[in-house]
Amino acid sequence: MHRVLLTCPPMIGLVDRFQEAFAAAGLDIVVPDFTQIVPEARLIDMVPEYDGWIIGDDPATRAVFTAGVQGRLKAAVKWGVGTDNVDFAACRDLGLPITNTPDVFGREVADLAMHYLLALARETYAIDAGIRAGGWPKPSGISLWNKRAGVVGFGDIGRNTAKRMLAHDLEVVVFDPFVDAAALPEGVSLRDWPNVEDLDFLMFTAPLTPETHHMFDEEVLALVKPGLRLINVGRGPVVAQTAVVAGLESGRIHSTALDVFEIEPLAPDNPLRAYGSRCLFGSHNGSNTQDAVTAVSHKAVKLLAGFLTP
């Protein structure tokens, strides 16, 4: 049996479902005591004791991998799509086999993205809050059929989000330097960033890279159409929080839905909390459905077992 460290909360939440798969793959899974991520110093002590590692959002740094290969570590899999917390270059340098599980959550995250867009359009979050407070609010929302939405990033999540937008009669424009305009579906057009002046909605589905870090900042905020509804289901640092706060304060941003933040979890004194029902918050949970977690977890087990028992 190969001893494997599991530090991925969504997979841990359903871990009993995968015991048969673990056993069939010859994996002895160990779940440490932690909440969202395991700190780097603790990982440096723990990882060398395992043959494999299924990584969540932990700081999978060069120091951790170096310590790992000096011990028992032979392979790792980053559960899910995002890889900004994993030093893949260090793994290459160390000769450590590693992969993520790409193109697996597009539909799930896109479902949540569309939920956020509809909630901002019809202000359902404000209605709910008002009713719970004893009122009976009836804010006048906006229709979708005559509106334009921008999607930043046209990978798996972006493509699935655009499909859902088109079904709601939105005009969709895409910002992605790696996309061929000729390959876009009917009803979707390509633009250069940051041509955002005529957008009613701006949706971020992009991964975090040096190029996307703070791509929405105060300079871009100055370009947007007043009353913009902004949504981020990609990675928190793609959108500068200072720009969001400034936009909410000035009114250039009507409201925002953020499933991800620059620093997670959201601190009790975070300035975004001051804007009440104009901010709809998530907990970086866009991919977390039982169906998707089950499918991706089985994929992660298969990939890791392939590395460990070629």
pLDDT tens digits, residue range 152-199? 999 999 999 999 999 999 999 999 999 999 999 999 999 999 999 999
pLDDT at 310 over 80: no
pLDDT in tens, 113-153: 999 999 999 999 999 999 999 999 999 999 999 999 999 99
- 191 pairs with which residues across the strands? 175
Identify whether residues 93 and 118 lie together within a single domain.
no
Contact present, 238 and 208 (Cβ < 8 Å) = yes
Q: What is the pLDDT of residue 202?
A: 99
Query: Residue 205 belongs to what domain range?
Result: 106-281
Cα 188 to chain centroid distance, Å, stands at 23
pLDDT in tens, 201-226: 999 999 999 999 999 999 999 999 99
Identify whether residues 165 and 74 lie together within a single domain.
no
Identify whether residues 140 and 69 lie together within a single domain.
no
Identify whether residues 91 and 111 lie together within a single domain.
no
For the entire predicted model, the pTM comes to 0.87
> What CATH number does residue 218 fall under?
3.40.50.720
Strand pairing category for 201-204 and 188-191 = unpaired
Query: What is the amino acid identity at position 28?
Result: D
Identify whether residues 118 and 244 lie together within a single domain.
yes
**H/E stretch holding 274:** none
The total of structural domains in the chain comes to 2
Identify whether residues 124 and 260 lie together within a single domain.
yes
Residues marked active site are found at 235, 264, 284
Cα separation, 148 vs 142, in Å, equals 12
Identify whether residues 97 and 113 lie together within a single domain.
no
Confidence of residue 15 (pLDDT cuts 50, 70, 90): very high
| Cβ within 8 Å of residue 74, ≥6 positions away | 2, 51, 52, 96, 97, 307, 308
3-state secondary structure 101-122: CCCCCHHHHHHHHHHHHHHHHH
